[in-house]
Amino acid sequence: MYDFDLRGDSMNYAAISNNILYSNDPLILTLNGELYMNKPPLFFWVNALFIKLFGANPFSVRLSTLIAVIVIIWFLYKIAMELFEDSDTALMMPLLFFATYIVYKNTHMLKLEAFVSAFVAGSLYFFIRYLREKDVRSIVFTAVFAGLAVFSKGPLGLIVLLASIIFPLVSKEHRTIKYFKHILLALGITLLIPGWWYGYVMAKTPFFDTFFLEQMFDRLGGNSLNFTEATYKVRPLWQYLLYIGKYGGLFLILFPLGLYKLITQERFTSGLRFMFTLSVLYFVIIHFITTKEHRYLYQFYMFTSFISAYGLTSVLSKGFVPFVKWLGVIFALFIALYPGTLDWDSYDSIKRAKEMSEKSGLPVVARDDFIRDISDKAAMSFYLRDHLKEPPQSGGWLEVVEKRFKVENGHELYRSKRVSVYIVNTE
């Protein structure tokens, strides 16, 4: 958690979160002094809270992901218990989900996948409960978690409610006025939770153009709509199948097995039918996104992990708790005792420059001519917020530059994967 490397989008997200603490308007996000309108704010607000409590470091911004993972584990366990009433299958559902490579990779990085999935999983659990109990309280909780998901990553948070709208097509018992009234109630609550912020930010900034037109519709249109100058890579229709074939791991074996067992055993409860409806709907929707990045499979694996879990527990003997406990112990010991590094050090030199500056009193300089990359600028803002843009008139200083540059009359002190630090003495 503490030594975690931040780079690329992860570094940008950390800087955006930190900027909230210094902004005159924390409702509007900024990156490197400019408006950031690619994402809603909830993820960044939570990170900002932890930065306020524990300082600007990787540990603080990773706490939101750690908590999200714990929430996902709990909800997936509860969902499987609702579906199968079997603790072994429930135990294996989150384990198999997080054991999938694409899920692991996108959880390990500081991205929104785990954070938004925690709310989506909560929304899904309470809707499964609603199908069994048909109570208003469950549908209200479904809406609250869906609203928080929309507050985290936009329309993705609506996926459970979208599935609930088409669910009566495969479930006659839910073709009732009462059911649709409850769904309308849920949609109203869901949109109300983040709606005030969307209204505020669209009135103050060009958020609508950036988030909805450039980020969403241009990706759906494969650059053909021309809402933005950015060019998104268009991948073939079968790209997700290639990802699953390459990174599927246990999923490739257990998913077909679980699907076969569920069909042959005719397990078609309302909850299971809804899970199938949701999985198919989501898989169809992500095919309309022309970029087809592998991170879009994150929620697909979450929705279908119940099938893999059932495939495993239907053929192996019960009693997985000791196995999972020892697996956890072995993995924790490996992380703790492994002698080498388990991560990159993209900006370790900046941290060392900060420590040296605090001890020596030398200012740290990062000129725009030598720090040009967006993420490198974000790293300077996050780790060394008070750095100078130009060298002082006299005396020495520490200068941070991208590795491709060298500082005249400077001596290189530190070097990491992204930047170097020089000491300059003009006296």
What pLDDT, in 10s, does the model give residues 172-218? 999 999 999 999 999 999 999 999 999 999 998 887 777 666 666 55
pLDDT in tens, 135-185: 999 999 999 999 999 999 999 999 999 999 999 999 999 999 999 999 999
What's the pLDDT score for residue 213? 65
Residue 426 above 80 pLDDT? no
Give the pair of three-digit tokens for residue 264.
Answer: 């042959």
Residue 225 above 50 pLDDT? no
Residue 366 above 60 pLDDT? yes
Taking the C-alpha atoms of residue 265 and residue 116, their distance in angstroms, rounded to an integer, is: 34
pLDDT band, very low/low/confident/very high, at 108 (cuts 50, 70, 90): confident
Residue 283 above 60 pLDDT? yes
Q: Which of 213-227, 361-375, 411-425 has the lowest mean pLDDT?
A: 213-227
pLDDT band, very low/low/confident/very high, at 302 (cuts 50, 70, 90): very high
What's the pLDDT score for residue 372? 93
Provide the mean pLDDT of the chain. 89
Residue 24 above 70 pLDDT? yes
pLDDT band, very low/low/confident/very high, at 322 (cuts 50, 70, 90): confident
Residue 222 above 60 pLDDT? no
Closest C-alpha to 275, from 68, 80, 137, 90: 80
Task: Decide: helix, strand or coil at residue 422.
Answer: strand
Closest C-alpha to 263, from 244, 78, 255, 170: 255
Decide which of 233 and 391 is more confident.
Answer: 391
pLDDT band, very low/low/confident/very high, at 289 (cuts 50, 70, 90): confident
Residue 318 above 60 pLDDT? yes
Helices (H), 205-269: 207, 218-221, 239-247, 250-264
* CA of residue 349 relative to chain centroid, distance: 27
Taking the C-alpha atoms of residue 161 and residue 190, their distance in angstroms, rounded to an integer, is: 9
Closest C-alpha to 186, from 130, 269, 116: 130
What's the pLDDT score for residue 344? 73
Per the CB < 8 A criterion, the answer to whether 174 and 168 are in contact is yes
What's the pLDDT score for residue 128? 97
Q: Helix, strand, coil shares of the chain as percentages rounded to 5?
A: 65, 5, 30
Highest mean pLDDT among 160-169, 199-208, 232-241, 285-294: 160-169
Beta bridge partners of 401: 420
What's the pLDDT score for residue 327? 85
What's the pLDDT score for residue 342? 64
Taking the C-alpha atoms of residue 352 and residue 340, their distance in angstroms, rounded to an integer, is: 20
Pairing type for strands 34-35 and 419-424 reads: unpaired
pTM value surpassing 0.85: yes
What's the pLDDT score for residue 227? 46
Per-residue pLDDT averaged across 116-144, rounded? 97
Give the pair of three-digit tokens for residue 115.
Answer: 């954070």
Phi, then psi, of 421 in degrees rounded to 5: -120, 130
